[in-house]
Structure 1
């Protein structure tokens, strides 16, 4: 892929095996794109595919063959390129099937694949314990290398949630690992797009629950990423939903902790981001600052629950970048090792680097009302814990939230936090108070923790509710 000063136009379809065969093709008919991210994996899906592989089936998501097969004629020179994590535990197998499908239709499809990061056989040594499947979350530069080598389709395993977008942007603009601010901007965009229809407000999603039965009318997002990493998030006009500062904020707060968010290739300073409504269904993300990549990447293990109706369990541990074994096989069959970032640094503390001074807190007679009447709640997975972010649309409302939602108040409002480690972070630029709760080691996180917080009754200043004098 040649470098260019024009923005990268990339969309994301979070397709699943339950979607109709033509869903991806219809999305491409409705939007002009340079790259399509076909996001088909969750941790639970990888666990299911691991069982499928043990039973003699493929370790990749065959629904990708169906979806891509319906749009093969739109790919290649002058058409769109596809990056997909549907390779799961066997990206090579999916790449081979896609090539054979294209060949059967008289097409030569340049396909590259990134090694799956399958570390199931090393799980115990990595501190994950006895698990059914374990994968390392690779970063973006294997994808970028494949696109730069002319791949029309790049197949990966369970990479980091932003890697599909960041890899495409790095290839399009010719970024190197030292382009920290630009990379950080694309990580923010990838974080938003990875939520699929959540970015357009049409689903009440939590981490890895981003599927709908209709990816086209379900409002899947598009981003236009400039060479400095700034971007506009939008959608194609025929879709349901809308793109607002609120929908983008909600996605940004999924699965994050403090002011620093670590992707494999860069640490994004969340406190640097600025969101602005640029027009109908157009939100600009700007101001991203990046810090050197962390020295580790995440290894995630999944296990099936014991007994009927039991929920899968998840455990995460850090793995040194140099031990992650990241490589990519280019369309001509050449295997290339993806270098470890030249500069890494330990992730700084999650608290704001500089103190925040609150603004004026609204007055008026307090009125008992649901928290959801003045704020929104976003929940996501952070390591072995959960983040519960409460955010609002107004600076004055945030000043009230920051004072009201102390650690003690969170424990009062969220049943089930007893005995859990709690860390509270402020993100004034996103008008958010974010709490990360982690259970003691060896204990399983309670399902749905914090899901009822928006309904909790608080004494809210009347000025916020526009009630009374």
Structure 2
């Protein structure tokens, strides 16, 4: 007999997400499992430095605060919790959860997954001297904990999708060879992992929905089925919207092509089907899976140096001349000069604006250097000392600070056989999770034949007249998912948006490697721009260090678009 669908919800998309979400999800309707994603590359750096200062820390403390309010509610409703809030210290968080449960008088079986922390072996593995080194574990350790009766499962750095795949394995009994089912759950987990981004948050087409509907989007949930298919939805009566548009947006977020690789399987995103299934319901099915790669990804964070910034305000006319004077004075006063000094401007000259802010342009100087003192008081002092000696109207947005250290993220890869994966069960027993017996190297997919597009008259218009977008980051790489509303629009998009055209539309990418991956099932293309974000969010001097708005910038750029699509 086929087990019933598993109702899996999400209550966190990042460390700092809506604190009330756990309660909202528990009270909003029936659930079997509630997940929470608290980790990103930058978060691992933050938690790694936290643990370096205090060995008992290194986990997402906000989860404990949420649990203090809601642990009793979760137990009363029979909802099991699976979270990666353990960060760099999952054992420490598991102990803290047990202590909290004892203090609250709520009997709770707590388990955790460990083995991802490779920092003690960094030199052996050739990683240098990072601050953190964490492998992306799969879902079978989570499943082992759930099968042992855990009410709360805490992990460190597992793949985001594993928070959903693990409960699926435990509930449906999937084995290592069930690649299609696991891949379907991976796609489902990818949709849920960023919380309200699947229910209308950060949506390109936000203006097509009533403002009131988007004020407080509900968090998403999925009805996961035995074959790995799922229905993406949300609790009745909550804000936001779930439709093919919102699910497509999240599927395309922070991917690097049609193959979505994890340690348990590879999900083929070019096989995903999305079908409306009623109000606020989208069926996600058809996902094909493949054997996982032999290597597992490792998140490395190392100290990159020190940074500081100052922002000058230029008001009225002669903006270029004022900027030139400010730059020349400031740079002349820097001794020594920082290793990297990057200037950028925000805004355009509008001397006749009806507010002073509207008539102002921001001139931003960002500096990085291996030596803290170079970007510390000397840097800040050089700006402050210009106050009575520079361009007319001189002022800063804020007093410059003393600078701060920054980290650099880099991916590494090691054989799955070199990474321990241990489930620590509620009774304290430890179970080693073996790596997959069958793996396969990732290979490029065959090129998708271009669909012929009927020639016809064109008109100059923004790309956004045809395409919607969602963009994000993977270290220093930016990805932009673009999708069309119609088959005709999708065919034109796939044919027109070549790497060279992307470089023309995004001048900042003119000299960078660009790849465009067609995803016809989603009426989409996935654009990957390597190096656009420098060394990643913690080190980037770019105006938008995580590439969150690259998609909207690209939508605003003009192209010759067939009038039939407009």
Q: Is the aligned partner of 1:356 residue 2:457?
A: no
SS of match in other structure, 2:507: coil
Paired residues of 1:181 and 1:229 also in contact (CA < 8 A)? yes
Shift in Å, 1:359: 5.3
Q: 2:485 aligns with which of 366, 389, 393?
A: 393
Q: Name the CA distance, whole Å, in 1 between partners of 2:15 and 2:264.
A: 30
Paired residues of 1:258 and 1:351 also in contact (CA < 8 A)? no
Paired residues of 1:202 and 1:219 also in contact (CA < 8 A)? no
Shift in Å, 1:228: 0.4
Q: Name the CA distance, whole Å, in 1 between partners of 2:462 and 2:422.
A: 50
SS of match in other structure, 1:308: strand
Specify the alignment match of 1:211 in structure 2: none
Q: 1:37 aligns with which of 27, 35, 38?
A: 35
Shift in Å, 1:237: 2.0
Specify the alignment match of 1:336 in structure 2: 431
Specify the alignment match of 1:223 in structure 2: 222
Q: Name the CA distance, whole Å, in 2 between partners of 1:19 and 1:427.
A: 30
Superposed CA offset, 1:364-421 (max 9, x none)? 5312211112101222334652222221121100111111111110110112223322
Change (3 A) 1:396 1:177: same
SS of match in other structure, 1:420: coil
1:157-306 superposed matches below 5 A? 157-203=156-202, 217-305=216-304, 306=306
User: Structure 2, unaligned stretches of length 5 or more?
Assistant: 205-213, 310-367, 369-405
Q: Is the aligned partner of 1:426 residue 2:527?
A: no
Shift in Å, 1:170: 1.0
Superposed CA offset, 1:173-223 (max 9, x none)? 111111111101000000110121000112359xxxxxxxxx994321010
Q: Name the CA distance, whole Å, in 2 between partners of 1:39 and 1:77.
A: 23
SS of match in other structure, 2:276: strand
Q: Name the CA distance, whole Å, in 1 between partners of 2:427 and 2:529.
A: 47
Paired residues of 2:410 and 2:475 also in contact (CA < 8 A)? yes
Change (3 A) 1:216 1:121: farther
Shift in Å, 1:351: 4.3
Q: Is the aligned partner of 1:365 residue 2:363?
A: no
Change (3 A) 1:277 1:406: same
Specify the alignment match of 1:345 in structure 2: 440
Q: Is the aligned partner of 1:308 residue 2:409?
A: no
Change (3 A) 1:173 1:293: same
Deviates more, 1:18-27 or 1:59-68: 18-27
SS of match in other structure, 1:71: helix
Paired residues of 1:4 and 1:172 also in contact (CA < 8 A)? no
Paired residues of 2:409 and 2:535 also in contact (CA < 8 A)? no
Change (3 A) 1:424 1:129: farther
Q: Superposition RMSD on alpha carbons, in Å?
A: 2.5
Paired residues of 2:467 and 2:483 also in contact (CA < 8 A)? yes
Q: Name the CA distance, whole Å, in 2 between partners of 1:243 and 1:440.
A: 31
Shift in Å, 1:124: 4.9
SS of match in other structure, 2:23: helix
User: Structure 1, unaligned stretches of length 5 or more?
Assistant: 206-214
Change (3 A) 1:164 1:246: same
Paired residues of 1:367 and 1:462 also in contact (CA < 8 A)? yes
Q: Name the CA distance, whole Å, in 2 between partners of 1:288 and 1:464.
A: 30
Change (3 A) 1:111 1:303: same
Specify the alignment match of 1:58 in structure 2: 57
Superposed CA offset, 1:86-122 (max 9, x none)? 0111111111111111112223211110005112233
Change (3 A) 1:157 1:116: farther
Paired residues of 1:369 and 1:457 also in contact (CA < 8 A)? yes
Specify the alignment match of 1:377 in structure 2: 469
Change (3 A) 1:78 1:172: farther
Q: Name the CA distance, whole Å, in 1 between partners of 2:238 and 2:500.
A: 42
Shift in Å, 1:25: 1.7
TM-score by length of 2: 0.75
TM-score by length of 1: 0.90
Q: Name the CA distance, whole Å, in 2 between partners of 1:364 and 1:184.
A: 41
SS of match in other structure, 2:248: helix
Change (3 A) 1:135 1:358: same
Q: Name the CA distance, whole Å, in 1 between partners of 2:26 and 2:157.
A: 24
State how many pairs are aligned: 451
Q: Name the CA distance, whole Å, in 2 between partners of 1:16 and 1:392.
A: 28
Paired residues of 1:257 and 1:350 also in contact (CA < 8 A)? no
Deviates more, 1:141-150 or 1:255-264: 255-264
Q: 2:555 aligns with which of 450, 454, 461?
A: 454
Change (3 A) 1:124 1:459: farther
Shift in Å, 1:17: 6.3
Q: Name the CA distance, whole Å, in 2 between partners of 1:152 and 1:379.
A: 35
Deviates more, 1:118-127 or 1:392-401: 118-127
Q: Name the CA distance, whole Å, in 2 between partners of 1:216 and 1:366.
A: 38
Paired residues of 2:83 and 2:153 also in contact (CA < 8 A)? yes
Paired residues of 1:26 and 1:216 also in contact (CA < 8 A)? no
SS of match in other structure, 1:242: coil
